[in-house]
Structure 1
Amino acid sequence: MLLKDKNIFVTGGSRGIGRGIALACAEHGANVAISAEDTAAERETLAATVAEIEAHGVKSAWVAASAENPDTGDRLVETAVDALGRLDVFINNAGICPFHSFLDMPRETYLKTVDVNLNGAFFAVQAAANQMVAQGDGGSIIAVSSISALVGGGMQTHYTPTKAGVLSLMQSTAIALGGYGIRCNALLPGTIETDINREDLSDTRKRDYMISRTPLGRLGAPDDMGGPAVFLASDLAKYVTGAALLVDGGLYVNLQ
């Protein structure tokens, strides 16, 4: 119960990595609110995930709001405070990766990716930080970046810069917010099987290649992200800030 009585918000928490993190936090005693895009399908998924969270005997809530909207961060914080009483940990996970070649990248695809992944993260983290500063007793902010912050991808020229930006955001906010007792860290997942890459990994040759490149011999699952997130959110990491934690099965260090 590393997070007992902590109040946590996870963006993009209805499915994939966000859901894995939200459920792991609930298992460790945290009250967890989540968000996702405002569509009928996501509203159903949000409600279902909240039910799973509450099955752990903790409180939960959800809000459907577009991650790319600069005002969404305020809505997320308001949801957490109204439902849970305060905000102790904020986990920015919402992101998209519509794979596309570089030379014919549609301008709207590039701008949408930047707005969701980087601009949305900035304003959400800013809103969470202001709430924590107002509460006066610190907190933890975690952003889900990616191994793609460190390496390139021919079909991800719009995506990798946003994940490098999220990593840099955590490094800079660690400095900006350290005096308030707010820790800021980044998680860098490798190839985690989620909806975002299911079509890409349906190519068996690509899938087998990615597995062969991973020293642990398998692709990641969303719940593989839970433990690292719980650690960074907990008091076990009370002297950890500005850090980047790879959760990739060893993919990044394997040059063979």
Structure 2
Amino acid sequence: MRLLEGKTVLVTGGSTGIGRAAAIGAAQHGANVAINYASSDDKAASCIAEIEALGQKGLAVKGDVALPETASDFVAQAVDAFGRVDVMVSNAGICPFHAFLDMPAETFERTQRVNMHGAYYMCQAAARQMVAQGDGGAIVAVSSISALVGGEYQTHYTPTKAGVHSLMQSAAIALGRHGIRCNSVLPGTILTEINKDDLADADKRRYMESRTPLGRLGQPEDLIGPIVFLASDMAAYVTGAALLVDGGMFVNLQ
């Protein structure tokens, strides 16, 4: 079953990690896909090649999500290429691990601008286009288990992920009258570019695996099903919700 047949899906941070998996997964389900990316030209090109190999149309648009004009440009280019926007997957994010007491202001502020401001601008731009189209749509934001728990070296990051989760709750109220659904996914520890250095420590990796009832850390592809579901008509009565995708880590407090 191709759950996104004929739809146009936009994905931020789409050249690597969860964003790349979501973009290719959307194409597997019949969508044309536009990705935003920050710097990895080769990886963005290879993502589009995989989308096109699946028989779908792809578009890569480079830009810094921290800037509001990047969002309006991304949506405009997607509409020029594909005619409309049906789904926005707001995924772009950074997490430069750092201690709290000597956190550089720029590290804190850059994390806020990319993760929180970027999500706001992208979701707002997509929603404006969906409202103009007049037939609804879906927004899926990639939050994190970090919206619910703290992290010693993530004091700049966890508030942004709580903010993204909260943004989807409020946007669900603001946009429900337009038939636009807004939900978030909360990944646990997923093996991506963000945490590859942190998890290079074999002891820490084994510890994180031991905390996960399913016995392994996540892969970006583990997010495809949850994201596609929330983007699809199968979730037609789901809005303002948050779906943990963490192998059970959050509930394993004992």
TM-score (norm 2): 0.99
AA partner of residue 217 (structure 2): L
Residue 32 (structure 1) shift? 0.7
* Structure 1 letter corresponding to 2:33: V
Question: Distance between the aligned counterparts of 1:197 and 1:26, measured in 2?
Answer: 26
Describe how 1:71-110 pairs up with structure 2 within 5 A.
Answer: 71-110=69-108
Structure 1 CA distance, aligned partners of 2:145 and 2:74? 26
Structure 2 unmatched runs, 5+ = none
Alignment match, 2:56 = 58
2:141 pairs with 140, 143, 148, which one?
143
Residue number in structure 2 paired with 1:30: 31
Q: CA RMSD in A?
A: 0.6
Alignment equivalent of 2:198, drawn from 182, 185, 200: 200
SS at match of 1:196: coil
Runs of 4+ in structure 1 off by over 3 angstroms are none
Q: Runs of 5+ in structure 1 lacking a partner?
A: none
CA distance in 2, matches of 1:119, 1:61: 23
Q: Deviation per CA, 1:124-158, whole angstroms, max 9, x where unpaired?
A: 11110000000000000010000000000000000
- The C-alpha deviation readout for 1:205-241, integer Å capped at 9, x for no partner, is 1100000000000000000000001100110000000
Query: Do residues 113 (structure 1) and 114 (structure 2) align?
Result: no
Task: Give the corresponding residue for 2:180.
Answer: 182
2:13 maps to a residue whose letter is G
One-letter amino acid matched to 2:11: V
Residues 140-192 of structure 1, C-alpha deviation per residue, up to 9 Å, x if partnerless? 00100000000000000000000000000000000000000000000000000
User: Is the contact made by 1:62 and 1:79 (CA closer than 8 Å) also made in structure 2?
Assistant: no
| 1:246 counterpart residue number | 244
Per the alignment, in what secondary structure is the counterpart of residue 36 of structure 2? strand
Name 1:18's counterpart in structure 2. Answer: 19
What secondary structure sits across from 2:68 in the alignment? coil
State the Cα distance separating 1:31 from its structure 2 match. 0.6
Percent identical among aligned pairs is 64
Show CA shifts across 1:188-211 (max 9, x none).
Answer: 000000011000000111100000
TM-score by length of 1: 0.98
Contact 1:60 1:84 in 2 (8 A): no
d(CA) in 2 for partners of 1:6 and 1:155?
39
Among 209, 212, 226, which residue is 2:210 paired with? Answer: 212
CA distance in 2, matches of 1:112, 1:140: 27
Displacement of 1:70: 1.5
2:6 corresponding residue in structure 1? 5
Measure how far apart 1:26 and its partner are: 0.6
Are the counterparts in 2 of residues 11 and 34 from structure 1 also a CA contact under 8 Å? yes
In 1: Cα distance, 2:43 partner to 2:72 partner: 22
- Who is 1:230 aligned against? 228
* Corresponding residue SS for 2:191: coil
What amino acid maps onto 2:72 in structure 1? D
- Secondary structure of 2:238's match? coil
**2:166 pairs with 1:173:** no
